[in-house]
Amino acid sequence: MIEEEVKKCVDQQVKPITELVEHHGKRLDTDNIRISRLYSNVEKVNEDVKSNTAIVNELDTEVGSLFKRIVELETRLENQEQYSRRTSLRFHNIRVPIDHNDGIFITENLTQYRTGLTQKLADLKYNHKIFAYWTSDGRIFAKTTEKSTKKRITNYDDITALETTTDGDNQQQLPDPSQGTTIKNSDENQNNGAY
């Protein structure tokens, strides 16, 4: 009799705990299923990310190649445009009527880009940053001093390098104003062929 009462009392105390354990067990099973599904989704997302990363890398490579090609084509176009102007001349400061005070001068018919380069060199010459500059068959040359070697100018980076030259051969030397701006050197003024 006492045993039955004790058993009944224990069953009453244990039953809610057992039900709670079963409830949590069911929730754990449900959570495990959800976790498995999420893990599967994460794996799929990771695969998609890897695939997309590979595609992006391929596109980056292709864009870089196309950019390089554009630069090459722009350079070729610039050279071709200048080549087509090789027999053209420009006459500057011609006024009507012409009098003896007009400062008429003749230059090669350069492309807009090369004209910009010569204008930059003209500023450097005016500010005594370089000794002289000139063009020959569409090519542009400059010297930092009278005795320095001539340098070919093809872009603005060349001009920047010219401005920052510090070697002994190119130390700054102001030109003699009485000598004018023309370099009297047959090698520099002759037509050296196509560029």
What is the pLDDT, as a whole number, of residue 16? 79
146, 69: one domain: no
Domain-located, residue 93: no
| Same-domain status, 58 and 118 | no
pLDDT on residue 93: 75
DSSP assignments along the chain, one per residue: -HHHHHHHHHHHHHHHHHHHHHHHHHHHHHHHHHHHHHHHHHHHHHHHHHHHHHHHHHHHHHHHHHHHHHHHHHHHHHHHHHHHTTT-EEEES--SS--TT---EEEE---HHHHHHHHHHHHHHHTTSSSEEEEETTEEEEESSTTSPPEEE-SHHHHHHHHT--SGGG------GGG-S----HHHHS-----
Residue 166 is predicted with a pLDDT of 47
The verdict on 148 and 75 lying in the same domain is no
Q: What is the pLDDT of residue 95?
A: 65
Q: Does a structural domain hold residue 123? A: yes
Q: Is position 90 within any domain?
A: no
Inside any domain, residue 172 = yes
Question: Is 17 within the bounds of a domain?
Answer: yes
Instruction: Please tell me whether residues 117 and 161 are part of one structural domain.
Output: yes
> Do residue 118 and residue 73 come from a single domain?
no
Each of the 195 residues of the chain gets a pLDDT tens digit; together they read: 777 777 777 777 777 788 788 888 888 888 888 888 888 889 889 989 998 999 999 999 999 999 999 999 999 999 988 888 888 887 777 665 555 557 677 788 999 999 999 999 999 999 999 999 999 989 999 999 999 999 999 999 999 998 887 444 444 444 444 444 433 333 443 333 333
Are 67 and 15 in the same domain? Answer: yes
Whole domain around residue 42: which residue ranges? 1-84
Q: Tell me how far apart the alpha carbons of residues 81 and 109 are, in angstroms, rounded to a whole number.
A: 10
Instruction: Please indicate, yes or no, if residue 61 is contained in any of the structural domains.
Output: yes
- Give the count of domains, the chain: 2
Q: Is residue 48 part of a domain?
A: yes
Whether 102 maps to a domain, the answer reads: no
What is the pLDDT at residue 99?
A: 55
Q: Are residues 43 and 80 in the same domain?
A: yes
